[in-house]
Amino acid sequence: MTSKIRLEPEPYQSILESGGELSQQQAMELYLHPDLHGVGALADWFNRLKNKDLVFFNINRHINHTNICINKCSFCSFFRESGHPDAYELSLDQILQKAKDMPDDCTEVHIVGGLSSSLTLTYFEEMFRALRSNHPDIHIQALTVVEIEHLSSISGFPVQEVLARLKAAGLGSLPGGGAEIFDPEIRAQICPAKISGDRWLDIARLAHQVGLRTNATMLFGHIEKIEHRVDHLLKLRSLQNETGGFQSFIPLPYLSENNRLASTIDPTGQDRSITPPRQDRAILPPRQDRAILPPRQDRAIPPPRQDRAIPPPRQDRAIPPPRQDKAIGPSGSDILRTYAVSRLVLSNFQHIKAFWIMIGKKLAQTSLLYGVNDLDGTVREENIAHSAGASAGSELCADELLELVRGVNKTPAQRDTLYNILKLYEGKQCEGKLNGGKNKTNDIDEVSEIMGGDP
């Protein structure tokens, strides 16, 4: 028996150690290689090269200010049209009331929602000023670049002016939503009314130019192909080389409940685990050394037995729904591989984040061995992913996040939005030098020195 094909990491390590970048072909090789754990180990090695064994999280609070949206993306389960019974828009008083229940050590409020024409640029300026007035130390991470473009459209102001006004009102950074998949053909099928992938990149560039850091995302596991994912990663890497303004990359697995896109995907179609066919066994030709015998004619076929009545079907049990052997959306192995390949291709991104709400705590913990070094935060309340079937809950306390990180023998690091480290949770020496945000640092080498050398 031929042994399992294993990934040879040295060629990739040689490129990454020297500061080089993986090519499109090499990215495709990693996506299609049968050794998933080997790809994960390579990503974990590179992650340790960049981030030691630190895993970041923050204390944050999410607010979704409206579910009214004119884009009506087919993958979105959150949006409602104006006038729908479930449609809502939060007033400024309601926003401030939600902000009141932030824990004392919360450092970030994360605000995203739909595109409602009634929520103007002034609404957001007033919101940010009021939040900063009531919570002067809080960092406001709000509004995807898609929302920024929408505000530019309805206000008549250019994007640069919208960004400058929001920043002056208290906006600290932008999340990375709305990127989906940059390929125009895929985008035309899943979000035809949304801005193009090129426009998304243009607005992210403008945000970086005015001094606003952003994240970046990729929605995967729906109708796209592997080459579309790789193209998406390469475009992000190119812009990061230009601006350096991206903080983290967040792969987002498609969730299929309660949205139109799910009805167009055949659950018995392509298996998204991306396990290629085995190539280590030769296909044998059919045997030709035996003659095909004619059917035997020397035994009569007995008639069917009539001495037993056929029982009626049981009615005391509910008939289960038909099985769907292949679920819609990415498999667990596909999710882990996407994290790993993202870590290796996006060599100029410092952080790869797993949004635990979308994949669950157990898979999020496993992802820490596949190139991920950030678990997002405590969240407190989240509606967008849960409307599409996320079942991981809406909040984790800090102790639960610490347990996830320590469970894979890594070091938890509480951060703020800009990745200044507020507290390390391993060793008395660390706690004495970094505590409560008084001694912040985002220098990995400095953290390593505080911890007493490489972890």
Tokens 């991981």 — which residue? Answer: 392
User: What pLDDT is attached to residue 278?
Assistant: 47
The answer to whether position 23 is within a domain reads yes
The answer to whether position 294 is within a domain reads no
User: What pLDDT is attached to residue 300?
Assistant: 58
The answer to whether position 303 is within a domain reads no
Q: What CATH number is given to the structural domain containing 352?
A: 3.20.20.70
The answer to whether position 322 is within a domain reads no
- The rounded distance, in Å, linking the Cα atoms of 199 and 208 is 14
- The rounded distance, in Å, linking the Cα atoms of 360 and 294 is 58
Angle between helices 197-209 and 226-243 (to 10 degrees): 20
Mean pLDDT of the chain: 83
User: What pLDDT is attached to residue 23?
Assistant: 98
Q: How far is CA 123 from CA 119, 173, 208, in A?
A: 6, 18, 23
Predicted confidence band of residue 395 (pLDDT cuts 50, 70, 90): low
Which two structure tokens, joined as six digits, stand for 191?
């979000």
Predicted confidence band of residue 315 (pLDDT cuts 50, 70, 90): very low
Mean pLDDT of the 393-422 span? 87
Residue 449 sits at φ, ψ, to 5 deg, of -65, -40
Model pLDDT for residues 90-128, shown as the tens digit of each residue? 999 999 999 998 888 899 999 999 999 999 999 999 999
Output the DSSP codes for 259-312: SGGGGGS-TTS--TT--PPP-SSPPPPPP-SSPPPPPP-SSPPPPPP-SSPPPP
Amino acid at 11: P
The range of the structural domain enclosing residue 185 comes to 10-49+58-271+330-396
User: What pLDDT is attached to residue 268?
Assistant: 53
Mean pLDDT of the 201-208 span? 98
User: What pLDDT is attached to residue 238?
Assistant: 98
* 231 touches 183 (CB < 8 A): yes
Instruction: Please indicate whether residue 253 or residue 399 has the higher confidence score (pLDDT).
Output: 253
The answer to whether position 68 is within a domain reads yes
The answer to whether position 108 is within a domain reads yes
Print the SS3 string covering 92-146: HHHHHHHHHCCCCCCCEEEECCCCCCCCCHHHHHHHHHHHHHHCCCCEEEECCHH
Which two structure tokens, joined as six digits, stand for 244?
């350096």
**CA Rg value for the chain:** 26
Task: Give the contacts of 425 (CB within 8 A, at least 6 positions apart).
Answer: 402, 411, 412, 413, 414, 431
- The rounded distance, in Å, linking the Cα atoms of 439 and 205 is 31
Mean pLDDT of the 48-57 span? 96
User: What pLDDT is attached to residue 428?
Assistant: 31
The answer to whether position 308 is within a domain reads no
Which two structure tokens, joined as six digits, stand for 13?
């390590």
Amino acid at 437: G
This prediction's pTM: 0.81
- The rounded distance, in Å, linking the Cα atoms of 79 and 422 is 36
The answer to whether position 423 is within a domain reads no
* 210 touches 178 (CB < 8 A): no
Q: How far is CA 48 from CA 199, 306, 323, 343, 367, in A?
A: 34, 73, 42, 11, 14
Task: Give the contacts of 42 (CB within 8 A, at least 6 positions apart).
Answer: 7, 9, 12, 13, 30, 340, 344
User: What pLDDT is attached to residue 103?
Assistant: 85
Model pLDDT for residues 161-192, shown as the tens digit of each residue? 999 999 999 999 999 999 999 999 999 999 99
Question: Hey, which residues does 140 pair with through a beta bridge?
Answer: 109, 171
Predicted confidence band of residue 384 (pLDDT cuts 50, 70, 90): low
Mean pLDDT of the 312-339 span? 65
**Could you tell me how many residues make up the chain?**
455
Count of structural domains, the chain? 1
